[in-house]
Structures are given as structure tokens and as C-alpha cells.
Amino acid sequence: MRRGGGLLAVYAAAALWSTIGVATRLGYTAGCSPLGILVARQALAALATLLGLVAGLYRPSVVFDRRVIGIALTLFTPFYVSYYYAVEALGVGRAAALLYTAPAWILAYQLTLEHWKPGSSKLLATTFTIAGALLLAGEAWGGLVSPGGLVWGLASGAFYAATVYAAARIITGLEPSSVAAGTQAWLLPGALAATVVMPGSVKVTLQCLPAAAYLAIVVSHLSYILFYRGLSKGVEPHRASIAATLELVLSMAWGWLLFSEPFTVLYGAGVVLIAAAQLLAGRG
């Protein structure tokens, strides 16, 4: 029951992550640049952490834990930066598909660092997840893929997987909500550093602040609180990374419902493969 509740928390987090594209589109429409959304989101997320500390919602010892700070600066920051470049080079669909190579990266980390050999169900679940993600990208694969974009896309998957793997390693003994709040707060220095090295201007308008606030509170705080609670309840990293692909399925659904984006046979096949991966991953 404990693990089942943890898996539901991971699925809930993925459902919230699926709204990132909708909120980001609204932010761009309201005048924010991509870097502007990034900085505004993380500034508001850091403010939310500060207010949470003052209100006693988060534990200072966890927020300022060197492991939490380390994950934010060395893993989350390059994850965000590499994904940004992947989107710039490949477009959202292909970048998201490569992001969800994460289950394969987690298996690689477990094999390398723990000498743990996955069973056939996990290998098949990983294969189905990646194939499903590629199909959900659909017609986005019709154009040429730049080598640089491919590297950035795979790097985003590797760093995303590393954030999940590292968080699962430290979550025992730490309060999950405070871990989530801490990582999001310490991402602000990384976001500011990104404005120096990444192309584009930092443009933030008052009209786009509601979208940035939603991304900060719901996507950055609430979703990661749910995700880390799932990890703390025994959902292992590989299982969590496969469950998180619900984000892709729901993202396509939002695009279809809200922006009249087409739902093709390829999308349907991708959904079936990702659903099959969930069942296989649950078999151990």
C-alpha cells in the first residue's frame, strides 16, 4: 500500500508536469521570452521556498543541506540548460522524446554504480517507453536532426535521469517537501548564470507573471513535492521515470483539447506503448 500510494504521487506529479507547455505558451503570448520565463519561474520558486521557511512549512536543515544544494547546482541546472538548447535545436516534440530516454539512463547508472542487472520486464518497459515517446513526437521527426541538437537532447535525458537517481539516493531520512523546495530555490543561481551563457534576452512582463507563478508554485514546488514523496515511499528511480511518461501523453491531450493539435495514428500507437510500459515496469 505504501508503494502504491507512492506511485500515485508520481503519476500526480507527471499530470502537473504535463501542463508546462500550456503555461509556457501563455507566458510567451503575454510577452515573456524563454529566458524570461526561466528566470521569473525560478525567482518566484525561490520566494515560495523562503516564505515556506518563514511559515515553518519547510525544514531549514534540509533546504540548506549540501546534498540538496549539490543536486540543484550540478544536476538540475545542466538539465534545464540542456533541455532549453534541445528545444531550440529540435523543437518541443523531438526534445521531449529524447528527454524520455531517461529510463535507459537510469538503468545505465544502476548497472554502473550498483552493479545491478535489470530483468527482462524492465528492459522491455524501457524499450516501449522510448519507442512510445518517439512515436508521440510524430511528424516532428520529418525534418533533419542536427548533431548538436541530438547531443543536447540526449544530455537532457541523462541529466534528468541523474536528478531522479540522486534524489532517490538522498531522500531517505530527509523530509520530501523540503528537498523539493530546496532544489527549486537553489536553481535560481543556475538560472541567472544561464542568462550569461545562453542566447536570447531576458524579457519579463507583468502580464506573463501569472504563468510564471503557476510554473513556480504548481510545477516547481507541488509537482516535485509529490514526486519526491513517491520516491520516499519506495518507488524506485527506474519505475518513477517510466511513470513520469504520463506527462507526454497528457501533454498531447492538452494540445489536442486546447490548441486543436491533430491526434494521429502515431500518437495512438505511442500511447499504447507507454501504457504497456507501465504494466511491464510494475512486474518488477
What is residue 59's predicted lDDT score, i.e. its pLDDT?
Answer: 96
- State the sign of the Cα–Cα–Cα–Cα dihedral 193, 196, 198, 199: positive
Mean pLDDT of the residues in the chain: 86
C-alpha 279/C-alpha 281 separation (Å) is: 6
pLDDT in tens, 40-60: 999 999 999 999 999 999 999
Which is higher by pLDDT, 266 or 2? 266
Residue for grid cell 509529490: 226
pLDDT in tens, 99-137: 889 999 999 999 999 888 888 888 999 999 989 888 877
Cell numbers for 86, please give them.
534541445
Residue 2 has pLDDT above 60, yes or no: no
Q: Which sequence spans correspond to the domains of the chain?
A: 2-281
Cell numbers for 137, please give them.
513526437
- State the sign of the Cα–Cα–Cα–Cα dihedral 196, 80, 207, 253: positive
Cell numbers for 107, please give them.
538503468
pLDDT in tens, 181-233: 999 999 999 888 888 877 778 899 999 999 999 999 998 899 999 999 999 99
- State the sign of the Cα–Cα–Cα–Cα dihedral 193, 198, 203, 209: negative
Q: Which residue, 19, 182, 163, 164, is CA-closest to 81? A: 163
Which is higher by pLDDT, 20 or 4? 20
pLDDT in tens, 11-20: 999 999 888 7
What is residue 95's predicted lDDT score, i.e. its pLDDT?
Answer: 80
Mean of pLDDT values over 60-88:
89
What is residue 1's predicted lDDT score, i.e. its pLDDT?
Answer: 46
pLDDT in tens, 142-163: 555 678 888 988 999 999 999 9
Which is higher by pLDDT, 72 or 89? 72
Q: Which residue, 45, 50, 58, is CA-closest to 220? A: 45
C-alpha 106/C-alpha 108 separation (Å) is: 5
What is residue 55's predicted lDDT score, i.e. its pLDDT?
Answer: 96
